[in-house]
Amino acid sequence: MASGILVNVKEEVTCPICLELLTQPLSLDCGHSFCQACLTANHKKSMLDKGESSCPVCRISYQPENIRPNRHVANIVEKLREVKLSPEGQKVDHCAHHGEKLLLFCQEDGKVICWLCERSQEHRGHHTFLTEEVAREYQVKLQAALEMLRQKQQEAEELEADIREEKASWKTQIQYDKTNVLADFEQLRDILDWEESNELQNLEKEEEDILKSLTKSETEMVQQTQSVRELISDLERRLQGSVMELLQVKSGKKMENVTLKKPETFPKNQRRVFRAPDLKGMLEVFRELTDVRRYWVDVTVAPNNISCAVISEDMRQVSSPKPQIIYGARGTRYQTFMNFNYCTGILGSQSITSGKHYWEVDVSKKSAWILGVCAGFQPDAMCNIEKNENYQPKYGYWVIGLEEGVKCSAFQDGSFHTPSAPFIVPLSVIICPDRVGVFLDYEACTVSFFNITNHGSLIYKFSHCSFSQPVFPYLNPRKCGVPMTLCSPSS
Q: pLDDT tens across 161-178, in order? A: 999 999 999 999 999 889
Same domain, 69 and 140: no
Looking at the structure, tell me whether residues 70 and 129 fall in a common domain. no
When mean pLDDT is compared across 146-150, 271-275, 416-420, the lowest value belongs to: 416-420
61 and 131 part of one domain: no
- Compute the average pLDDT of residues 476-485: 88
Cα separation, 31 vs 126, whole angstroms: 32
Domain membership flag for residue 186: yes
Q: What is the pLDDT of residues 379-434, one digit of tens each?
A: 434 444 445 557 889 889 999 999 888 889 999 886 655 565 668 889 988 888 99
User: Which neighbouring-strand residues pair with 451?
Assistant: 436, 457
Would the pLDDT of 368 be above 50?
A: yes
pLDDT at 438: 96
What is the average pLDDT across 269-282?
Answer: 63
- Is the pLDDT at 247 greater than 80? The verdict is no
What is the arithmetic mean of pLDDT over 323-329? Answer: 55
Max mean pLDDT range (15-24, 144-153, 387-396): 144-153
Do 138 and 76 have their domain in common?
Answer: no
Q: Which of 215, 248, 268 is the last residue of a domain?
A: 215
Mean pLDDT score, 354-371: 93
What is the band of 89 on the pLDDT scale with cuts at 50, 70, 90?
Answer: very low
Whether 252 is covered by a domain: the verdict is: no
Residues 47 and 136 in one domain: no
Q: Are residues 298 and 372 in the same domain?
A: yes
Report yes or no on 436 lying in a domain: yes
Residues 360 and 426 in one domain: yes
Q: Are 63 and 69 in contact (CB under 8 A)?
A: no
Tell me if 259 is assigned to some domain.
Answer: no
Q: Are residues 15 and 151 in the same domain?
A: no
As beta bridge partners, residue 104 has 113, 130
- The strand pair at 104-106 and 111-113 is best described as antiparallel
Q: Does residue 445 lie in a domain region?
A: yes
- Which pLDDT score is estimated for 81? 76
- Lowest mean pLDDT of 185-194, 373-382, 428-437, 476-485, name the range: 373-382
Q: Compute the distance between CA of residue 130 and CA of residue 106 in angstroms, rounded to an integer.
A: 9
* Count of domains forming the chain: 3
Q: What is the pLDDT of residue 330?
A: 55
Last residue of a domain, one of 215, 231, 260: 215
Mean pLDDT value across residues 260-286: 67
Mean pLDDT of 12-37: 87
For the cut 90, the answer to whether the pLDDT of residue 446 exceeds it is yes
Residue 251 scores a pLDDT above 80: no
- Residue that finishes a domain, picked among 178, 194, 215: 215
User: Greater confidence, 330 or 425?
Assistant: 425
Is the pLDDT reported for residue 342 higher than 60?
Answer: no
Mean pLDDT of 443-471: 91
94 domain residue, yes or no: no
In the chain, the amino acid numbered 486 is L
Top-confidence range, 118-127, 183-192, 234-243 = 118-127
Least confident of 18-27, 153-162, 236-245, 297-306: 236-245
Task: Please tell me the distance from the alpha carbon of residue 137 to that of residue 110, in angstroms, as a whole number.
Answer: 13
134 and 9 in one domain? Answer: no
pLDDT-derived band at 11, boundaries 50, 70, 90:
confident
Do 327 and 205 fall within a single domain?
no
Q: Which of 292, 312, 294 has the alpha carbon at shortest distance from 303? A: 312
Encode pLDDT of 115-131 as tens digits. 888 888 888 888 888 87
pLDDT on residue 339: 44
Same domain, 473 and 339: yes
- 3-state SS class at 291: helix
Q: Is residue 458 part of a domain?
A: yes
99 vs 269, which has greater pLDDT?
Answer: 99
Kindly report the number of other CB atoms within 10 A of residue 423's CB atom. 13
Average pLDDT, the chain: 80
Do the domain assignments include residue 127?
yes
Amino acid (one-letter) located at 264: E
- Domain at 30, CATH number: 3.30.40.10
Task: Kindly state the DSSP code that residue 321 receives in the 8-state scheme.
Answer: P
Range of the domain at 57: 1-85
CB 357 within 8 A of CB 295: yes
Q: Is 10 in the same domain as 80?
A: yes
Q: How confident is the model at residue 92 (pLDDT cuts 50, 70, 90)?
A: low
